Chain A
Amino acid sequence: MNTFSLLRLYRSLTRHKLYSVLNIGSLAVGIAVFLVLGLYVRFETSFEKWLPDHDKIYLVQTIWHIEDSPFNGAFPNTMGGLLEQIREDFPGTVGTRIMPTPINVIRNGVGIEEQGAQVDPEFFDVFALPMVAGNGPATLNSPSGVLIDQDTAEKYFGTLDAVGQTLTLTTGVDGKTGTYTVGGVFQNLPENTDLNFKVLGQLPAVQTAPWWYRWGSTSLFTYLRFPTPAAAQAFNAKLDGFVNRRGMKDLGPETPTKWQQLAVLPITAAHLTPAGGQAASLSQSVIAMGVVGVIALLIAMVNYINLATARAGLRAREVAMSKVLGANRNVLIRQFIGEAVLLVALAALVGLSLAELALPWINAATEMSLAIPYALAVPALAVLALVVGIAAGFYPAVLLARYPAASVLASARAPGGGRAGARVRELLVMFQFALAISFMVGTLVLAAQTAHVRSADVGFKRDGLIVVRSMTQAEPEQIQALTAGWRALPMIHSLTLADNSAGGSGTNNANSIEIPGQPGPGPSLQQIVVGPDFFRTYGARLLAGREFDLAHGADDFANRKDGVPVSIVINRMGASALGFASPEAAVGKTVGKGNRTFTIIGVIDNMRFLSPRDATTATYYSFTARMDEYATATLRYSGDLRTAMDAVKGTWLQVAPQVPFDASSADQRLAELYKSDEQATRLFTIGAVLAVLIGCVGLWGLASFNTVRRVKEIGIRKTLGASTRDIVLLLVGQFLRPVVIANLIAWPLAWVALRNWLAGFSDPVVLSPLYFVAASVLALLIAALTVSVQSLRAARAIPAWALRHD
């Protein structure tokens, strides 16, 4: 490129300011969208990759196959004692368990909860956590040693050296309080990890809990280390034999693998692997974001190339003159490509700045902390500038360089690739709009589904409820005092204790209930144990029969007598699972057998405590007046949440100050479950709106270019008697044709993608044609508006002027 080329480029950009801003701007926005969404995808796919030797670490999954069970599928946790049995059967296996445990640090008599975990002394053989101070392996060999992360060290010891200091801790499992010595400080764990612990202690070697070695229970995470993927595969192949040998004790003598299997999963794949029957929402989101990012970039690139090639035709005269003055083909090709690369590089720079400016906002919207890795981004953008620049510059360079100078100079019209060029451009516009319309449909459906989830009937009154989770850690006498104290509060109208609550509690118990007169174990129903006032507090809808009543002594399973069925309430799904035609038909019936014989006293509507992606399960509720073990409390209040929460917390601090208070409103807990979908919807919407905008800029530019090219034709038509209306209709109609055809491509594309996405919800919105029509109408309107402004201007020009226009 010579000085004149640069000068010409500069003047051309400053003379056609709007065109320059739109063309470079839209490519920059495309690059920014790609960068931001790329960062998201990179973050979500980088989980645990920060760990040294992460490719050698595997998570043991428990896979359930119990007929009709709501809890089938692969779960990331295992039986407590599994690792010991693996070591016995496969000597030399390297592994560790991680048992997440809430740890309360006692300071001045008040407990502060920290995320903790108990691990095997061999933990460091698997996880080589980077240490800042002290000795990790040695600390875990001592039952009274703990490791803490940098934040915790600073929180409790400030600038002092934490190693050798002591902490008074209550661990959640045994609830015992003791003094522990800090043996080491490990680096804060990064954000891209599911290992959420800040305090690590030793998992006691001897476990007395009966469920520790019970096959069928799952209580912690088991990790194994293999030198190669082949070794992991070989181990995987032996696991069925192991389960059949060891699991017989609890899973029955005939092939335990019929019910339960084990498998090892690379730790790096665990984050995006859904647990159990959950839909793969996260991996779907990651894929969707990746696709949106790539497509936004693609649209911007196509757009840029399209406009650049279209406009290049307008420079035919310049090229012809250069040739006359002695420029050869290669010089011209180099000049065109050089200019294009320079412009794309400029766009890349602007895109990078836009992404940097947008990140704080994106991070706030998605509660993430994404940052641009410049060492990677800058070279990648340089390559992009080269590739897009060459693509945008090559076609016009070759086309124009080939065009005979004499005919260009003699002709009143500039070559623009002729009819073939116009067709290619029309195809590209079609392609852009097909993607843009798919995005619009996607955005509408995502927004509708998110709104639907927010407002959907969950089967209970979700507002006005406070769930106190820390109740599970309170002593029985504290529970009595707390419930009495809360009942005395004026804003609390009712409260209940249960082993489950809105937002879930972590307990997943299910039992098969035999249907009398039918063979087999019967359907599997989730069990929820509730205390008094459960249904009243939640505002559940009673469909038939009655709720539990203290006045009916037999309702309380603690008063159970042998041979007398226990009273249960079931939900609507439970009634149909048990084969009753209606809720009314279930009431008074006896189901089950042995010590699990139940009389159904009532049927309530389905209550959804979990994520909208978890299927609503058939459930039965059993009742006891004394819920003093592993129960969460749910309180119904009136008035202001903060006032109610303060009062509830005040009572808590009086009664159980050593147990950190952990409570939130049911609304907040449910919102937490909806968060990942809402974040994904927000990101998708941002990406999609920008992609549509970029597409419009492309259409605008192309319309403006085409209109300019056709000014003379417009003049001829007007001379022949065409009115302004005729001309506008002609131009708009011609431009809308690719947009209309784009709908035919976009609809099936969007339909397939959205049907898959909605399949992940247990209560999806209907994929109504209205979304498609609305998106198409919107696209047509945007396109028509974009084009008609230009067309109107051209159509209104005086024909005599237009006829002189070249």
Chain B
Amino acid sequence: MIKLEHIRRSYVSEDIETTALADINLEIAAGEFVAIMGPSGCGKSTLLNTLGTVDRPTGGHYWFHDSDLMTLNEAGLAQFRAETLGFVFQSFNLIDELTIEENIELGLVYRKANGGNRRKRVVEAMDRVGISHRARHYPNQLSGGQQQRAAIARAIVGDPRMILADEPTGNLDTENGLQVMDILASLNADGATVVMVTHSPSHADMAQRRIDMLDGRVVASAARAI
């Protein structure tokens, strides 16, 4: 489903060029659950952001099925994200001024879903992650685990083909972390492709494949032994 060819990403500031991604070549099949691991600063999040088209590579090609996403303009990429992707972040990234259900609904707003259908899907997504009883609350009224479940609900409400999770359990305790991993695993089981950045080997073990990174390069890619 996804093919990255010679993807590079570098940042230039005051004459210093920092390379975040050196030469990434990677394929991810539909329905896969992939974990990306590596030390801090190795380029994990940059790779995830590149997969999510929220960061633009400096060079290379990003094929999604048969289309080269590098050729899409800003509006095309926005449409791609709205229709294809679901994001989960370590710091949840819920909007403080919106209630939980409004935050989740935001996942549908840019897909131009109609009102009645929207409402139904928001309720379904909340039920799925067990956050319905907090629908009318604001993010700062919820615990970290609840916030992350709400963020997952927002990610899945649009029924995306791929879920990108950037250290989804990084801010959670063990129990909440496991709950979140269970949800991701069940989503994958239902057919969604999941790409997750994590520091936790045990959570990485729940994925089908593990990609190790170092200094902006993929150093190992191995399927989990079953």
The smallest C-beta distance from B73 to any residue of chain A, in angstroms, reads: 10
**Are A716 and B93 interface neighbours, CB within 8 A?**
yes
Indicate whether B27 reaches chain A with its CB closer than 8 angstroms: no
Q: Which of A419, A713, A724 contacts B95 (CB 8 A)?
A: A713
**Are A803 and B93 interface neighbours, CB within 8 A?**
yes
**In the bound complex, what is the Cα–Cα distance between A412 and B54 (angstroms)?**
20
Tell me whether A800 and B106 are in contact in the complex, defined as CB-CB below 8 angstroms, given that A412-B91, A723-B78 are known contacts.
Answer: no
Indicate whether B87 reaches chain A with its CB closer than 8 angstroms: yes
Tell me whether A719 and B74 are in contact in the complex, defined as CB-CB below 8 angstroms, given that A419-B97, A798-B54 are known contacts.
Answer: no
For window 755-806 of chain A, which residues contact chain B by CB distance below 8 Å?
A: 796, 798-801, 803
**In the bound complex, what is the Cα–Cα distance between A413 and B139 (angstroms)?**
13
**Are B81 and A798 interface neighbours, CB within 8 A?**
no
CB contacts (< 8 Å) of B80 on chain A: these are 721
CB contacts (< 8 Å) of A719 on chain B: these are 52, 54, 81, 87, 93
Q: List 12 A-B contacts (CB under 8 A).
A: A412-B91, A713-B95, A716-B93, A720-B106, A720-B109, A722-B78, A722-B82, A723-B74, A796-B74, A799-B54, A800-B49, A803-B93
Residue in A715, A721, A801 with the greatest tally of chain B CB atoms within 10 Å: A721
**Are B75 and A723 interface neighbours, CB within 8 A?**
yes
**In the bound complex, what is the Cα–Cα distance between A717 and B108 (angstroms)?**
11
- B49-60 interface code vs A (CB 8 A; 1 in, 0 out): 100101110000
Indicate whether A608 reaches chain B with its CB closer than 8 angstroms: no
For window 91-150 of chain B, which residues contact chain A by CB distance below 8 Å?
A: 91, 93-97, 106-107, 109-111
Indicate whether B71 reaches chain A with its CB closer than 8 angstroms: no
For window 715-742 of chain A, which residues contact chain B by CB distance below 8 Å?
A: 715-726
For window 490-528 of chain A, which residues contact chain B by CB distance below 8 Å?
A: none
**In the bound complex, what is the Cα–Cα distance between A461 and B189 (angstroms)?**
93
The smallest C-beta distance from B25 to any residue of chain A, in angstroms, reads: 21
Indicate whether A712 reaches chain B with its CB closer than 8 angstroms: yes
Beta-carbon nearest neighbor of A412 in chain B: B91
Q: Which of B55, B79, B91, B95 contacts A721 (CB 8 A)?
A: B79
Indicate whether B5 reaches chain A with its CB closer than 8 angstroms: no
**Are A717 and B106 interface neighbours, CB within 8 A?**
yes
Beta-carbon nearest neighbor of B82 in chain A: A721
Indicate whether B154 reaches chain A with its CB closer than 8 angstroms: yes
CB contacts (< 8 Å) of A718 on chain B: these are 54, 78, 81
Q: Which of B74, B87, B96, B106 contacts A724 (CB 8 A)?
A: B74
The smallest C-beta distance from B165 to any residue of chain A, in angstroms, reads: 12
For window 416-431 of chain A, which residues contact chain B by CB distance below 8 Å?
A: 419
**In the bound complex, what is the Cα–Cα distance between A745 and B120 (angstroms)?**
40
CB contacts (< 8 Å) of B75 on chain A: these are 723-725
Indicate whether B212 reaches chain A with its CB closer than 8 angstroms: no
The smallest C-beta distance from A592 to any residue of chain B, in angstroms, reads: 81
CB contacts (< 8 Å) of B23 on chain A: these are none
**Are B110 and A722 interface neighbours, CB within 8 A?**
yes
**In the bound complex, what is the Cα–Cα distance between A433 and B196 (angstroms)?**
49
For window 687-729 of chain A, which residues contact chain B by CB distance below 8 Å?
A: 712-713, 715-726
Tell me whether A803 and B54 are in contact in the complex, defined as CB-CB below 8 angstroms, given that A712-B93, A722-B110 are known contacts.
Answer: yes
CB contacts (< 8 Å) of A412 on chain B: these are 91
Q: Which of A713, A726, A799, A801 contacts B110 (CB 8 A)?
A: A726
Indicate whether B89 reaches chain A with its CB closer than 8 angstroms: yes
**Are B111 and A721 interface neighbours, CB within 8 A?**
yes
Beyond the given pairs A716-B106, A798-B55, 18 more chain A to chain B contacts, judged by CB atoms under 8 angstroms and listed by A's residue number, are A419-B97, A713-B97, A715-B93, A717-B106, A720-B81, A720-B87, A720-B109, A720-B110, A721-B83, A721-B85, A723-B74, A723-B110, A724-B78, A726-B110, A796-B74, A798-B56, A799-B54, A800-B49
CB contacts (< 8 Å) of B107 on chain A: these are 720
Interface size on B, residues (CB 8 A): 29
CB contacts (< 8 Å) of A716 on chain B: these are 93-95, 106
**In the bound complex, what is the Cα–Cα distance between A725 and B74 (angstroms)?**
10
- A659-672 interface code vs B (CB 8 A; 1 in, 0 out): 00000000000000
**Are A800 and B110 interface neighbours, CB within 8 A?**
no
By Cβ-Cβ distance, the 8 closest A-B pairs, closest first, are A721-B82, A721-B110, A800-B55, A799-B54, A723-B78, A800-B49, A721-B81, A800-B54
Beta-carbon nearest neighbor of B166 in chain A: A803
CB contacts (< 8 Å) of B52 on chain A: these are 719
The smallest C-beta distance from A738 to any residue of chain B, in angstroms, reads: 16
Seen from chain A, the residues whose Cβ lies within 8 Å of a Cβ on chain B are 412-413, 419, 712-713, 715-726, 796, 798-801, 803
CB contacts (< 8 Å) of B97 on chain A: these are 419, 713
CB contacts (< 8 Å) of B46 on chain A: these are 800
Beta-carbon nearest neighbor of A796 in chain B: B74
CB contacts (< 8 Å) of A723 on chain B: these are 74-75, 78-79, 110
Beta-carbon nearest neighbor of A716 in chain B: B93
**In the bound complex, what is the Cα–Cα distance between A661 and B78 (angstroms)?**
82
**In the bound complex, what is the Cα–Cα distance between A20 and B110 (angstroms)?**
37
CB contacts (< 8 Å) of A803 on chain B: these are 54, 89, 93
The smallest C-beta distance from A587 to any residue of chain B, in angstroms, reads: 76
CB contacts (< 8 Å) of A419 on chain B: these are 97
**In the bound complex, what is the Cα–Cα distance between A716 and B46 (angstroms)?**
16
**In the bound complex, what is the Cα–Cα distance between A715 and B93 (angstroms)?**
9
Residue in A716, A720, A798 with the greatest tally of chain B CB atoms within 10 Å: A720
**In the bound complex, what is the Cα–Cα distance between A717 and B79 (angstroms)?**
12
**Are A717 and B91 interface neighbours, CB within 8 A?**
no
**In the bound complex, what is the Cα–Cα distance between A419 and B99 (angstroms)?**
13
CB contacts (< 8 Å) of A725 on chain B: these are 75
**In the bound complex, what is the Cα–Cα distance between A258 and B81 (angstroms)?**
88
**In the bound complex, what is the Cα–Cα distance between A557 and B186 (angstroms)?**
114
CB contacts (< 8 Å) of B79 on chain A: these are 721, 723
Beta-carbon nearest neighbor of B79 in chain A: A721
The smallest C-beta distance from B89 to any residue of chain A, in angstroms, reads: 7
**In the bound complex, what is the Cα–Cα distance between A173 and B128 (angstroms)?**
104
Beta-carbon nearest neighbor of B108 in chain A: A720
Tell me whether A717 and B54 are in contact in the complex, defined as CB-CB below 8 angstroms, given that A419-B97, A725-B75, A803-B89 are known contacts.
Answer: no
Q: Which of A413, A715, A721, A798 contacts B78 (CB 8 A)?
A: A721
**In the bound complex, what is the Cα–Cα distance between A725 and B82 (angstroms)?**
14
Beta-carbon nearest neighbor of B138 in chain A: A419
**Are B82 and A720 interface neighbours, CB within 8 A?**
yes
**In the bound complex, what is the Cα–Cα distance between A419 and B87 (angstroms)?**
26
CB contacts (< 8 Å) of B109 on chain A: these are 720, 722
**In the bound complex, what is the Cα–Cα distance between A722 and B85 (angstroms)?**
12
Beta-carbon nearest neighbor of B95 in chain A: A713
**In the bound complex, what is the Cα–Cα distance between A799 and B78 (angstroms)?**
10
The smallest C-beta distance from B139 to any residue of chain A, in angstroms, reads: 11
Beta-carbon nearest neighbor of B54 in chain A: A799
CB contacts (< 8 Å) of B94 on chain A: these are 716
The smallest C-beta distance from B10 to any residue of chain A, in angstroms, reads: 14
CB contacts (< 8 Å) of A722 on chain B: these are 78, 82, 109-110
**In the bound complex, what is the Cα–Cα distance between A76 and B75 (angstroms)?**
75
The smallest C-beta distance from A418 to any residue of chain B, in angstroms, reads: 9
**In the bound complex, what is the Cα–Cα distance between A420 and B89 (angstroms)?**
28
**In the bound complex, what is the Cα–Cα distance between A726 and B78 (angstroms)?**
10
**In the bound complex, what is the Cα–Cα distance between A448 and B44 (angstroms)?**
66
The smallest C-beta distance from A413 to any residue of chain B, in angstroms, reads: 7
The smallest C-beta distance from A683 to any residue of chain B, in angstroms, reads: 44
**In the bound complex, what is the Cα–Cα distance between A796 and B78 (angstroms)?**
12
The smallest C-beta distance from B49 to any residue of chain A, in angstroms, reads: 4
The smallest C-beta distance from B136 to any residue of chain A, in angstroms, reads: 15
Beta-carbon nearest neighbor of B96 in chain A: A413
The smallest C-beta distance from B166 to any residue of chain A, in angstroms, reads: 9
Residue in A413, A716, A726 with the greatest tally of chain B CB atoms within 10 Å: A716
**In the bound complex, what is the Cα–Cα distance between A401 and B95 (angstroms)?**
25
**In the bound complex, what is the Cα–Cα distance between A704 and B95 (angstroms)?**
19
The smallest C-beta distance from A706 to any residue of chain B, in angstroms, reads: 11
**In the bound complex, what is the Cα–Cα distance between A722 and B79 (angstroms)?**
8
**In the bound complex, what is the Cα–Cα distance between A719 and B46 (angstroms)?**
14
For window 21-56 of chain B, which residues contact chain A by CB distance below 8 Å?
A: 46, 49, 52, 54-56
**In the bound complex, what is the Cα–Cα distance between A721 and B106 (angstroms)?**
10
**In the bound complex, what is the Cα–Cα distance between A427 and B52 (angstroms)?**
39
Q: Which of B55, B74, B96, B154 contacts A720 (CB 8 A)?
A: B154
**In the bound complex, what is the Cα–Cα distance between A716 and B74 (angstroms)?**
15
